[in-house]
Amino acid sequence: MPALIIDGSAISKSILAEIKAEVAAIKAEKNEVPGLVTILVGSNSASVSYVTLKVKTALDMGYKEVQENLAADVSEADLLAMVDRYNKDPSIHGILVQLPLPRHIDEKKVIYAIDPDKDVDGFHPVNIGRLLLGGDEAKFPPCTPAGIQELILRSGVRISGAEVVVVGRSNIVGKPIANMLLQKGPGANATVTVVHTGTVDLAGHCRRADILIVAAGVPGLVKPEWIKPGACVIDVGVNRVGEKISEKTGKTVAILRGDVDFDAAKEIAGSITPVPGGVGPMTIAMLMKNTLSSFKMHAS
Ligand code: NAP
């Protein structure tokens, strides 16, 4: 039987609708709304399109949204001063600096400068530490891993007791999702294995997985015969493999492929995310969720 296709676009829409309703209720009661600042340095086309979507979504949620577009040659000191200003601004609950930054700016310094209580991307080491401790300590789970966990939960797949295999150990996807799913608590409690380029017998590990999460950035890395029949497959990979003319807009757009051979894998898996339309749309929904959590945290 073909797999259930986990529709990240639909799930993210329903999460955003829940957030929007909650923000409207908060505004009606307290005349306050969450505030998010998005800081973009330069005009890298992928970054511009990510930021544009984040801004549009934040405005749609009813958030106060401040968009800061800085020139590519802005000094590190000026960027740090801006972050500091928003750290102190009580109307701002989330600070997002779009990565990557130009080479002359030390990315780490900028991430470390963000107040951990406004770090809605969840990249600050304090928040990574909180994530590891788990439970109530975890304030802002990084958005893509949080989206992955939500997709698994909302598609009815049981995480507790499952064998989870994560392909990839990056700081933004592999390591955090592995840590989130091994926590003792609801929505987790799995047995987690993380595999990478140093792993012997990648295929053998993948074959054991009840839940297989692939974040390698290698198109078609996971072959259908590596998938356990009935497994839940979350394909995080977004790989540009060519270009095409969009039927809708007539413009040239990228052809995107995941890290899993989707067409063959969907005949074996129990459920699977498509690329695009799987994990991608969840990331922004989780950013909005973290910003609302930050607002509530500051209010209390
Ligand atoms: P990354 O920093 O490049 O990390 C890739 C990881 O995969 C590394 O740990 C690497 O192992 C491992 N890997 C690469 N090739 C492998 C192979 N042949 N066998 C086993 N392991 C392999 O990438 P990332 O930032 O985590 O992103 C991964 C993918 O997810 C990319 O396609 C990216 O575009 C996508 N992504 C999507 C979203 C979204 O949808 N919102 C968000 C973030 C990322 P080593 O550590 O040994 O090098």
108 lines ligand 1 (CB under 6 A): no
Residues in contact with 293: Cβ distance below 8 Å, sequence separation at least 6, in sequence order: 139, 140
Alpha-carbon torsion angle 37, 43, 47, 52, nearest 10: 60
Measured in Å, residue 237 CA sits from the centre of ligand 1 at 7
Mean pLDDT on 173-177: 98
pLDDT digit string, tens, across residues 121-135: 999 999 999 999 998
Element (H, E) at 97: strand 94-97
Q: Where are the alpha helices (DSSP H) in 31-114?
A: 45-61, 76-88, 107-113
This model's pTM is above 0.75: yes
Q: CA dist 78 to 36, 83, 259, Å?
A: 19, 9, 39
280 lines ligand 1 (CB under 6 A): yes
214 lines ligand 1 (CB under 6 A): no
Q: Over the chain, what is the mean pLDDT? A: 97
Q: Give the DSSP letter of residue 277.
A: S
Mean pLDDT on 131-143: 94
3-state secondary structure at position 227 = coil
Cα-flanking dihedrals φ and ψ of residue 189, to 5°? 65, 30
Measured in Å, residue 268 CA sits from the centre of ligand 1 at 23
264 lines ligand 1 (CB under 6 A): no
Range list of β-strands (E), 168-251? 191-195, 211-214, 232-235, 239-245
CA nearest ligand 1 atom 18, residue: 197
Q: Is the pLDDT of residue 136 over 90?
A: no
Q: In the annotation, is 54 catalytic?
A: yes
Measured in Å, residue 216 CA sits from the centre of ligand 1 at 3
CB 79 within 8 A of CB 114: no
Q: Is the pLDDT of residue 180 over 90?
A: yes
Q: Which is more confident, 173 or 251?
A: 173
Given the CA of residue 218, which atom of ligand 1 is nearest to it?
A: 15
pLDDT digit string, tens, across residues 182-241: 999 999 999 999 999 999 999 999 999 999 999 999 999 999 999 999 999 999 999 999
Q: Where are the alpha helices (DSSP H) in 198-279?
A: 202-207, 262-265
170 lines ligand 1 (CB under 6 A): yes
**pLDDT bucket at 300, cuts 50 / 70 / 90:** confident
Q: Which is more confident, 23 or 249?
A: 23
The pLDDT, as a whole number, for residue 174 is 98
Q: In the annotation, is 30 catalytic?
A: no
- The one catalytic residue among 117, 119, 121, 210: 121
254 lines ligand 1 (CB under 6 A): no
Q: In the annotation, is 296 catalytic?
A: no
Pocket test for ligand 1, best of 170, 177, 214, 283 (most atoms within 8 A of CB): 170
How crowded is residue 281: how many other Cβ atoms within 10 Å of its Cβ?
A: 22
Q: Is the pLDDT of residue 2 over 90?
A: no
The pLDDT, as a whole number, for residue 215 is 98
